[in-house]
């Protein structure tokens, strides 16, 4: 097993571009800017999403996005980058031109898996695909979807047969302006720039060439590609925690107290160091499991990274926000960040879901048969 040394910013082309972009650009605008500057394709091996992710390039881009953009905007780039484009790469028909346009930043693609039903039980989803000789009809509702209000197209996971069997599900690529498609923003002041909202499909007429990856392959494709999204989340968590720790150390060194600064209080230094330790552990774990996910889409390794990212972000942001006192509540400060970063334990599979995957794989992991 190879290990990964995560590259540090600055230096990537994305850093220079992001510095030059107008402040407050939303995630869709960011996607278009990155694509037009050819900064999306290098995230994939051989610049091809079908060949998998280049984790060093992805980590570098995510670090730059985290440094420059809101959490919501970074989310809006991460989901299509890690999941939608590789999924489109598994398809033919309409998927191929959409993938080419997306790589150039000319098409923002949303990933619409979570339904009105419990997201943790994906196999209970109700969005239906009715198939006839001439084409397909799509009906249903997807809730809490990143890029829902800003996308040009959505990859929608639907069922073409009743029941939970994993072969009953199919991905379809749905143009956002197709008759019967509507989007509304989610009722939240969080995740600014992410375009998060709900998508409804009212007997949307599609051709057979809108199916992506083959009928009945929806769930297996989801399982394969969500592993990459979980790796992306782990890499992003490294960047987010280290940035917040750096900002907090600076605040503590400058904050006058008694005859010195807060940084000189041993209790504060020890609390800070415990958060730093957690962040270092997560970085090391990410380095050791990246290859298994990037090269083999190992689901247990991806679940381990997701569980670690969620717990680490929660602990580090909790400590850092508290140590900044009232200053932590400023607009864009660590208290607001903390509320949004709880998404690391929810989106793309809750902590409970990924812990169950880890438990299933425990015998092999403890026998040394898995990373």
Sole window of 129-137, 200-208, 258-266, 343-351 interacting with ligand FAD (rule: CB under 6 A): 343-351
Selected binder of ligand FAD within 6, 14, 98, 112 (CB under 6 A) = 112
Selected binder of ligand FAD within 31, 44, 171, 191 (CB under 6 A) = 191
Rg from Cα positions in the chain: 21
Expressed in percent and rounded to 5, the helix, strand and coil fractions of the chain are 55, 15, 30
Selected binder of ligand FAD within 114, 149, 228, 304 (CB under 6 A) = 114
3-state secondary structure of 363: helix
Sole window of 57-65, 100-108, 216-224, 339-347 interacting with ligand FAD (rule: CB under 6 A): 339-347
State the number of CA atoms in the 13 A half-sphere of 232 facing the CB.
29
Size of the site for ligand FAD (CB under 6 A): 19
80 binds ligand FAD (CB under 6 A): no
Question: For helices 55-68 and 13-20, what crossing angle results, to 10°?
Answer: 20
100 binds ligand FAD (CB under 6 A): no
Count of residues making up the chain: 371
Beta carbon of residue 104, minimum distance to ligand FAD (angstroms, whole number): 21
Residue reference for tokens 């249903």: 140
> Which lies closer to ligand FAD via its Cβ, residue 96 or residue 346?
346
Q: Are the CB atoms for 112 and 119 separated by under 8 Å?
A: no
> Which lies closer to ligand FAD via its Cβ, residue 17 or residue 144?
144
137 binds ligand FAD (CB under 6 A): no
> Which lies closer to ligand FAD via its Cβ, residue 77 or residue 321?
77
Nearest residue to 125 (alpha-carbon basis) of 100, 96, 105, 145: 145
**Class of residue 24 by CB neighbours under 10 A (exposed 0-12, middle 13-18, buried 19+):** exposed
> Which lies closer to ligand FAD via its Cβ, residue 257 or residue 352?
352
Query: End-to-end distance of the chain based on CA atoms, in angstroms?
Result: 8
Beta carbon of residue 299, minimum distance to ligand FAD (angstroms, whole number): 16
CB neighbours (10 Å) of residue 114? 19
> Which lies closer to ligand FAD via its Cβ, residue 199 or residue 289?
199
Tell which phi-psi region holds residue 45, choosing left (phi > 0), alpha (psi between -120 and 50) or beta: beta
113 binds ligand FAD (CB under 6 A): yes
Selected binder of ligand FAD within 196, 248, 286, 299 (CB under 6 A) = 196
346 binds ligand FAD (CB under 6 A): yes
**Class of residue 195 by CB neighbours under 10 A (exposed 0-12, middle 13-18, buried 19+):** buried
Chain centroid, CA 46 distance in Å: 22
144 binds ligand FAD (CB under 6 A): yes
347 binds ligand FAD (CB under 6 A): yes
Selected binder of ligand FAD within 52, 119, 140, 218 (CB under 6 A) = 119
In the complex, residue closest to ligand FAD by CB: 119
Q: By CB under 6 A, name the binding residues for ligand FAD.
A: 79, 111-114, 118-120, 144-146, 191, 196, 343, 346-348, 350, 352
């Amino acid at each position: 097993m190879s290990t990964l040394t995560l590259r540090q910013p600055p230096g990537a082309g994305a850093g220079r571009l992001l510095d030059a972009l107008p402040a407050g650009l939303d995630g869709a605008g960011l996607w278009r800017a990155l694509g037009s500057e050819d900064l999306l394709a290098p995230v994939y091996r051989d610049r091809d999403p079908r060949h998998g992710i280049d984790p060093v390039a992805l980590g570098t881009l995510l670090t730059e996005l985290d440094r420059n953009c809101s959490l919501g905007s970074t989310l809006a780039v991460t989901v299509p980058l890690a999941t939608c484009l590789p999924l489109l790469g598994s398809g033919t028909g309409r998927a191929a031109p959409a993938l080419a346009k997306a790589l150039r930043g000319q098409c923002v693609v949303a990933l619409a898996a979570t339904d009105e039903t419990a997201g943790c039980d994906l196999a209970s989803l109700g969005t239906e695909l009715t198939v006839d000789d001439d084409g397909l009809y799509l009906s249903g509702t997807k809730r809490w979807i990143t890029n829902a209000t800003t996308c040009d197209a959505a990859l929608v996971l639907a069922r073409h047969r009743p029941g939970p069997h994993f072969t009953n599900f199919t991905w379809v690529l749905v143009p956002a302006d197709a008759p019967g498609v509507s989007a509304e923003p989610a009722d939240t002041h969080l995740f600014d720039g992410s375009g998060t909202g709900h998508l409804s499909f009212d007997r949307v007429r599609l051709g057979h060439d809108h199916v992506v990856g083959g009928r009945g392959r929806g769930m297996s494709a989801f399982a394969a590609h969500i592993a990459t999204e979980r790796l992306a989340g782990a890499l992003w968590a490294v960047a987010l925690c280290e940035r917040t720790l750096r900002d907090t150390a600076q605040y503590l060194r400058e904050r006058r107290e008694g005859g010195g600064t807060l940084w000189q209080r041993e209790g504060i230094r020890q609390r800070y160091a415990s958060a730093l330790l957690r962040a270092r552990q997560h970085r090391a774990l990410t380095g050791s499991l990246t290859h298994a996910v990037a090269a083999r889409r190992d689901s247990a390794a991806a679940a381990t990274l997701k569980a670690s990212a969620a717990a680490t972000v929660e602990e580090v942001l909790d400590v850092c926000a508290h140590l900044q006192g009232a200053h932590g509540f400023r607009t864009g400060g660590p208290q607001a960040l903390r509320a949004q970063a709880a998404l690391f334990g929810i989106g793309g599979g809750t902590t409970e879901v990924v812990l169950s995957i880890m438990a299933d794989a425990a015998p092999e992991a403890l026998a040394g048969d898995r990373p």
